[in-house]
Amino acid sequence: MSTELADCVRRTLNRYFRDLDGEAPHAIYDMVVACVEKPMLEVVMKQAAGNQTVAAEMLGMSRSTLRRKLAQYHLDPSC
């Protein structure tokens, strides 16, 4: 699975660079993290049935970090 995800990222980044059409790339790291992190959080929260403690355990992060990331992406139900 991780190989499939890595291959997808490689293909997408290669396409991104090809499509720049002379423009200078910028903030690539933040762009990739945001593109991957939000859907990952959405799927994990669904798998955890909205339980942030369970989701945080699945993700290997603290519940407070998860809450901060959910708020960052406007996924926190209290937002």
DSSP string for 8-74: HHHHHHHHHHHTTTTPPP--HHHHHHHHHHHHHHHHHHHHTTT-HHHHHHHHTS-HHHHHHHHHHTT
Residue 40 tokens, joined:
């990952």
Is the pLDDT score of 61 beyond 90? yes
Domain 2-72 has CATH 2.60.130.10: no
Per-residue model confidence (pLDDT) at position 77: 66
**Angstrom distance (rounded) from CA 2 to CA 19:** 26
* Domain range list for the chain: 2-72
pLDDT digits (tens, 9 = 90+) for 3-45: 998 999 999 999 999 999 889 999 999 999 989 999 999 999 9
> Which candidate, 16, 77, 6, 71, places its Cα nearest to that of 38?
71
